[in-house]
Amino acid sequence: MPFDISPLELRHRIRAGEYSGNTSGYCPGFVQGNVVILPRDWASEFLQFCQFNTKSCPLVGMADVGDPRLPSLAHDLDIRTDLPSYRIFRDGEMVGEVPDIADLWRDDLVTFVLGCSFSFEEALLADGLDVRNVTEAVNVPMYRTHIECQPAGRFSGKMVVSMRPFLAADAIRAVQICTRFPSVHGAPIHLGDPSLIGISDINKTDYGDPVTIKPNELPVFWACGVTPQVALEQARPPLCITHSPGCMLVTDVKNSQLAIL
CB of 149 to its own copies, least distance (A): 16
Nearer to its own copies, 16 or 261 (CB): 261
Residue ranges in the chain assigned as alpha helix (H): 7-15, 40-52, 118-126, 132-135, 168-179, 226-235
Q: Which of 41/193 has CB closer to its own copies?
A: 193
Binds its own copies (CB under 8 A): choice among 55, 87, 190, 243: 190
Rule CB under 8 A: say whether 212 interacts with its own copies. no
Q: How far is the CB of 147 from its own copies (least distance, A)?
A: 10
Q: Is 139 left (phi over 0), alpha (psi -120 to 50) or beta?
A: beta
- Rounding to the nearest 10 degrees, give the CA dihedral for residues 9, 1, 140, 73: 0
What DSSP designation does 83 have?
S
Q: Does 88 bind its own copies (CB under 8 A)?
A: no
Size, binding site for its own copies by CB under 8 A: 18
Q: Do the Cβ atoms of 62 and 111 come closer than 8 Å? A: yes
Q: How far apart are CA 75 and CA 92, in angstroms?
A: 32
Beta strand segments in the chain, E: 30-39, 59-62, 86-90, 93-98, 109-115, 142-148, 158-166, 190-191, 218-223, 240-243, 249-254
Q: How far apart are the first and last CA of the chain?
A: 34
Task: Name which of residues 30 to 69 contact its own copies (CB under 8 A).
Answer: none
User: What is the chain's percent helix, strand, coil content, to nearest 5?
Assistant: 25, 25, 50
**Which residue's CB is nearer to its own copies, number 101 or number 191?**
191
Min dist. Cβ of residue 25 to its own copies (A):
29
Backbone angles phi, psi at 164, to 5 degrees: -135, 125
Is residue 126 close enough to count as binding its own copies by CB under 8 A? no
Rule CB under 8 A: say whether 114 interacts with its own copies: no
The least distance separating its own copies from the CB of residue 200, rounded to whole angstroms, comes to 16
Q: Is 150 an interacting residue with respect to its own copies (CB under 8 A)?
A: no
Name the residue nearer to its own copies (CB basis): 60 or 174: 174
Show contacts with its own copies in window 162-181 (CB under 8 A): 168-169, 171-172, 175-176, 179
Interacting residues with its own copies (CB under 8 A)? 168-169, 171-172, 175-176, 179, 187-193, 196, 216, 218, 261
